[in-house]
Amino acid sequence: MTDIAIKVENLSKCYQIYDKPHQRLLQGFLGSKKQYYKEFWALKDVSFEVKKAKQWVLSGVMALVNLHCYRLFVVRLHPVVVR
């Protein structure tokens, strides 16, 4: 039996940042013909392990990323496998 409670490998999260609100609509209609957004990588190829019965703290500037990770790992009652 392993002593790892959470194992994450190559986790990435990219946001599409638009200069103007109507560009989001144009991107939806035109698709891949033209790219109206800039990519912002909040996480890129992050890997980590958390052992059982250990406490850990997730801190950072991006509150949404922290909240998303909290929901993924802390709120769930059953083990989660992320690959």
Domain membership of residue 71 (yes or no) is yes
pLDDT cut 70: percent of the chain above it: 63
Domain that holds residue 49: 4-75
> pLDDT value at position 56?
61
Rounded Cα distance, 39 and 18, in Å = 9
Rounded Cα distance, 23 and 18, in Å = 6
Domain membership of residue 25 (yes or no) is yes
Strands (E), 1-83: 4-18, 37-51
Domain membership of residue 82 (yes or no) is no
Choose between 2 and 28: higher pLDDT: 28
Q: How many domains does the chain have?
A: 1
Rounded Cα distance, 83 and 64, in Å = 21
Domain membership of residue 61 (yes or no) is yes
**Span 14-50, pLDDT tens digits:** 999 999 999 988 888 887 788 889 999 988 888 888 8
Domain membership of residue 81 (yes or no) is no
Asked if residue 7 has pLDDT above 60, the reply is yes
Terminal Cα-to-Cα distance of the chain (whole angstroms) = 20
Domain membership of residue 83 (yes or no) is no
